[in-house]
A and B are shown apart, each in its own frame.
Chain A
Amino acid sequence: MSEAAAAAAALHGVSQRFGRKVVLRELELELHPGSIVGLVGANGSGKTTLFAVLAGLLQPDTGERRLFGRAADEVDAEARARLAYVAHATQLYGALSARENLRLFADLRAAAGLSTRPADEVLLELGLSAEALGRPVATFSRGMAQRVALARALAAWPELLLLDEPFTALDAAGRGMLSRVLLGERSRGAAVLLSSHDFDALVQICDRIVLLEGGALVRSVERHERHDRHDRHDRHDQNHRHDHRDQRDQQDHQGDRENFRRRAAALWHDLPADPGDTVVDGPR
């Protein structure tokens, strides 16, 4: 299987413009199952547009979009069944309760023959109290509404999870909870793309962080862990070298994390200071 075919989502040479504004430029990106990619960039760098293109809410002007190994000129219902998108806005019906919001989408999926996790189960897992489930979402704080939006996405067992600033408005406990949930999704085999301005959260969970600038992915840092050495180590049972090797591997992993953090910090440092200054005028 080729690298492109194995990707849950891939964009090749994708450009998007709104009028004269070029928002995405010749963009190249691949998202692989079982990985979390962090997307950073200044306001107006094109992050939300990138999510919209991947979710099928925008048709790219040029370039190729591939989803689950297939060219996706249009993101059909079959592809949408395998992805979930949480936008910066919570996209919830304020007059409906958290439970009703989730059930509406679960019923719509069921009408298409798709299964969904029970609403209460996933809402409680994301930290909403049982009392809150029946209340209209309009009465929720932003953080609670964000949990409902995340729950709606996670309830569908997505293979591709697109999260536009998912840590927004979450308290420390909520951020920790979301990080754990996303790591669980990665373990399940989901490909995750998330944007955030929370450096610590990104460094903690991402396998790769990419910098979007002027609508193009200009830099990338990747976590490089020594899985091969670890795997080799697992094949050895208890012996006198085990403890020594384990200690050395722990030191290596610690070093890897520190190295990833340091390189990510360098990338973070390169973020343009002025919001909105990265969208450039393109040729007509």
Chain B
Amino acid sequence: MRLLRQALLLLRSELRQELRDFELLLTAGFFTVVLLAMFYLSFASLQAKAHLSALPGLMWLTVAFVGVLTLTRVFDREREADTLRALLAAPIERLAIYLAKAAMALLVLMICCAVLVPGLWLMFPAGQAFADQPGQTALLALLGCAGYVAIGTLFAAGLATGAGKNTLLFIILYPLTTPVLMYALVTTRALLDRDPALPDHLTQMFLLDLILFAAACLLFETVLVGAPARAPGRRPRHPRRPDASVRQDMSREPSR
């Protein structure tokens, strides 16, 4: 309960900051629209059958690009003022930071999907299946983005506390999110094909998300502050007098 309350407080703070400058939403939203326009100009002239094959790729490619942009910006706010360390030193459940950041990134991605999916439907006739199955389309977008965010938030946080550059996030994130994106790709194809096995695909995506979230939750604190060393060498090799190494020759008053 404490974890949830703290996560909600942090999310509220994120939203408050976002609503003052709309930095995340404007950046991600504009990038989504630009990608949509590029896809339209490149693929609109293809046959409808080709659209069916291309749409899943276009959709999740956009999510991958916009996702990494969002994750970078979510943690840039913390990096610029070093506020993440203030949160880490505060008496809060550190997992609450992860949950709040992941929720914020997921929210931004879902808003982008709210632009992306109707855009794909309007531009490509094969996207009619999105409009015909709105509930399943929304669930697909949610599950795909959630899996992506689960991993992405973990590594973006690790890079925000270290000396890592944002470019590292691109290098690390894409290989690690490949399974999620592949699953999402296959499920999207099933949705467009009106495959009766779609619920099974969605269930599998849900389970994959659960595994990824559980793994990220377990690793988050370690990624941020490191694991305590438990080797025998952790203890002092021999008992020490406090401050024994400090030269105390000038530490006392000369006797009067």
Can you sample 24 A-B contacts with CB below 8 Å? A7-B242, A28-B240, A28-B243, A30-B242, A61-B229, A63-B234, A63-B235, A64-B234, A91-B81, A91-B82, A92-B86, A93-B13, A93-B83, A96-B13, A108-B92, A112-B6, A112-B93, A218-B246, A219-B250, A220-B246, A220-B248, A221-B250, A221-B251, A224-B252
Interface of A is mostly: mixed
Residue contact B252 to A92, C-beta cutoff 8 Å = no
Q: Looking at chain A, what size class is its interface with the partner chain?
A: 35 or more
Residue contact B17 to A95, C-beta cutoff 8 Å = yes
**What 1/0 flags go to A188-203 for Cβ under 8 Å of B?**
0000000000000000
| Chain B residues engaging chain A, CB cutoff 8 angstroms | 2, 5-6, 9-10, 13, 16-17, 20-21, 77, 80-83, 85-86, 88-93, 225-231, 233-237, 240, 242-248, 250-254
Minimum-distance CB pairs A-B, first 9: A81-B91, A13-B236, A91-B86, A73-B228, A89-B82, A111-B5, A59-B226, A80-B91, A95-B17
Given A57-B85, A74-B228, A91-B82, A96:B247 Cβ within 8 A = no
Q: A210 at interface (Cβ–Cβ under 8 A)?
A: yes
A68: B residues at CB distance < 8 A: none
Interface of B is mostly: loop
Q: A177 at interface (Cβ–Cβ under 8 A)?
A: no
| Bound-state Cα–Cα, A85 to B88, Å | 10
Nearest B-chain residue to A156, judged by Cβ: B91
A94: B residues at CB distance < 8 A: 80-81
| Chain A residues engaging chain B, CB cutoff 8 angstroms | 3-4, 7, 10, 12-13, 26-30, 52, 55-64, 73-74, 77-78, 80-81, 83-85, 87, 89-96, 100, 104-105, 107-109, 111-114, 136, 152, 210, 216-222, 224, 256, 259, 263, 266-267
Given A90-B81, A100-B16, A112-B6, A55:B245 Cβ within 8 A = no
Residue contact B83 to A112, C-beta cutoff 8 Å = no
| Bound-state Cα–Cα, A220 to B249, Å | 8
Of B80, B81, B243, which is within 8 A of A29 by CB?
B243
Residue contact A107 to B83, C-beta cutoff 8 Å = no
Nearest B-chain residue to A109, judged by Cβ: B91
Residue contact B252 to A222, C-beta cutoff 8 Å = yes
Of B77, B230, B240, B254, which is within 8 A of A93 by CB?
B77
Of A57, A74, A92, A217, which is within 8 A of B246 by CB?
A217
| Bound-state Cα–Cα, A94 to B92, Å | 21
| Bound-state Cα–Cα, A136 to B19, Å | 14
Known: A10-B242, A12-B240, A73-B228. 19 other contacts (CB 8 A): A4-B242, A7-B242, A26-B245, A28-B244, A28-B246, A29-B243, A30-B242, A60-B229, A84-B89, A87-B85, A91-B85, A93-B77, A95-B16, A112-B6, A112-B91, A112-B92, A218-B247, A220-B248, A224-B252
